[in-house]
Amino acid sequence: MAKKKKVSTKNLERLAECYRQINDYTNAAEWYGKLVAMPDADPVDELYYGDMLKSLGKYDAAKTAFQQYARKNNQARLVENKIAGCDAAVQWMGQPTRDDVRNVARLNTAKSDWGATWYPNGIVFMSDSLFRDQLAPGSKVNKNNYGRTNDPYYKLYLADSSKYGNVYLSDLSSMFNQYRYHVGPVAFDNGYQTAWFTVTEPDRRIATVKERIEKVTISGNRRLELYVSKKDSNGKWAQPTAFAYNKPEEYSVGHAALSKDGNILYFTSDMPGGLGATDIWYSERQADGSWGTPRNCGPTINTADEEEFPTIGADGDLYYSSKGLVGMGGFDIFKSNGSKAQWTTPENMRYPVNTSGDDFYLVSREDGSGYLSSNRVGGKGDDDIYSWYTPQKMDVIPLPRPALEIPFEATVCPQYYDACIYLYNRQRNIGWCFIATPGRTITIMLEKETDYVIRITPAGNQPKDSIEFTTRGLKGTDVLKKEICPENKIKKEPVNQRLPIHEKIK
């Protein structure tokens, strides 16, 4: 009988990373789960494993992965926002905002459709679908395929709904889609006379990045550039010109957004001088019409992780997506007020605007309506376009950044029956429910200088006894341990029997 060939750690890494890069969270989580059990796995794989579990909405398991990574690598600070996001997600889903978010089914396909923005008589969006049966007469068809997914490259499409509510699609090959590779998204000025759009660098290939944690933003093995086109006197889009600060041999520049007066250009880049993987940058229009040297928008909105997809709302606020702030999954949408490098603390738009998936590219109008893009569960394809409406101006309170420094372990006695072990943070007025199973050890990082309560709630009944404790005076090197244990084996009947609990602090 032939021996079963052992899969190498390197091959598992390649497989898991492949699924992660195409946002296949289910398969990525499965393979990262196998990978982290390998003794020679890279420590960062456990971090990626937590990210994939979080993107699947498996917040308890994601927190465990993040905590294990932090303990093994002394990286509590690196994962504190990730863990806080898991806790916030549960709270936000239990208390959703009044925002109305709906799938725009008439535009979405089984492929990827995103980046919707307004245009006279309709909207412009980008897609990797061919739309062979929907294109208006005379439209060209994109025949090139993207090697990573074998899907067509992203192109820009115009959905014209001016004729009795019917949607007529046409591609923009005459000017914007003339490039062979990915094209989009696009941002217009207020009068639709100027268009800034992103293209995958069309002529120069670069070496594929081999680093385990990517340092640059690349599409396949080509970087991004910004191009601008202006309408001529006949109302036709002129030949695009490259942004003066494109430098595809070194870094990417893309995802443009214009201030309301058109004098500040915001964009995403991984150019030198940033704070992390990709940041939001800006450039100012000069007196002679040229654009000034790009400057970073600063540490208030940028983090050591990825910030992308900036847009400027009708209210002048900046909307963008981040993986580095407290969020529910991959990219979460945030809102901030300000300009250039001066911004208010970003506000997470919360659920249902944000989900465990990637939520990005929100555009808004003064009436509180708009569009956003997401690969959330329940969509028609990979990325989908969603309509967004908020019935009133909402004051979204950001979740303060917690100092999760105190390791906590609670052991449930083997004879314990099914119940909710509720851990409550008195200062934040939030809590977490852990289902008690025999012999389970609950591990979580707690805030320092904070008061907590453990409450026991048998299934279908009122809370029973509770334990109060505090982390005040403790340091990160102190492991706070508790034993949750009844004096005798408890039966489910009668339900009114009081449940005595012994606590031990070791």
Backbone angles phi, psi at 283, to 5 degrees: -140, 140
**How far is C-alpha 108 from the chain's CA centre?**
20
Cis (ω within 30 of 0) for the bond into 352?
A: yes
CATH of 403-506, one of 1.20.1740, 2.60.40, 3.30.70, 3.40.50: 2.60.40
* pLDDT number for residue 74: 87
Q: What is the pLDDT along the chain (506 residues), one digit of tens a residue?
A: 555 556 788 888 889 998 998 889 999 999 999 998 888 888 899 999 999 999 999 999 999 999 999 988 888 888 999 999 999 999 999 999 999 999 998 889 899 999 999 998 889 999 988 654 455 555 555 555 555 555 678 889 888 766 555 566 776 767 888 888 889 999 999 999 999 999 986 555 544 444 433 333 333 456 899 999 999 988 899 999 999 999 999 999 999 999 999 999 999 999 999 998 999 999 999 999 999 999 999 999 999 999 999 999 988 999 999 999 999 999 999 999 999 999 999 999 999 999 999 999 999 998 889 999 999 999 998 999 999 998 755 454 554 556 788 888 888 776 555 667 778 888 877 777 777 666 778 888 888 889 988 877 665 455 556 788 888 888 877 788 887 765 433 333 332 322 233 332 22
* pLDDT number for residue 418: 60
CATH of 100-389, one of 2.120.10.30, 2.60.120.260, 3.40.50.720, 3.40.50.300: 2.120.10.30
* pLDDT number for residue 317: 96
Enter the CATH code of domain 1-95. Answer: 1.25.40.10
Backbone angles phi, psi at 44, to 5 degrees: -70, -20
Question: Who's near 494: CB < 8 A, 6+ residues apart?
Answer: none
Query: What is the residue extent of each domain of the chain?
Result: 1-95, 100-389, 403-506
3-state secondary structure of 17: helix
* pLDDT number for residue 47: 92
**How far is C-alpha 193 from the chain's CA centre?**
32
Return d(Cα 414, Cα 456) in angstroms, integer. Answer: 16
* pLDDT number for residue 142: 53
Taking the alpha carbons at both ends of the chain, their separation in whole angstroms is: 53
* pLDDT number for residue 144: 59
* pLDDT number for residue 173: 66
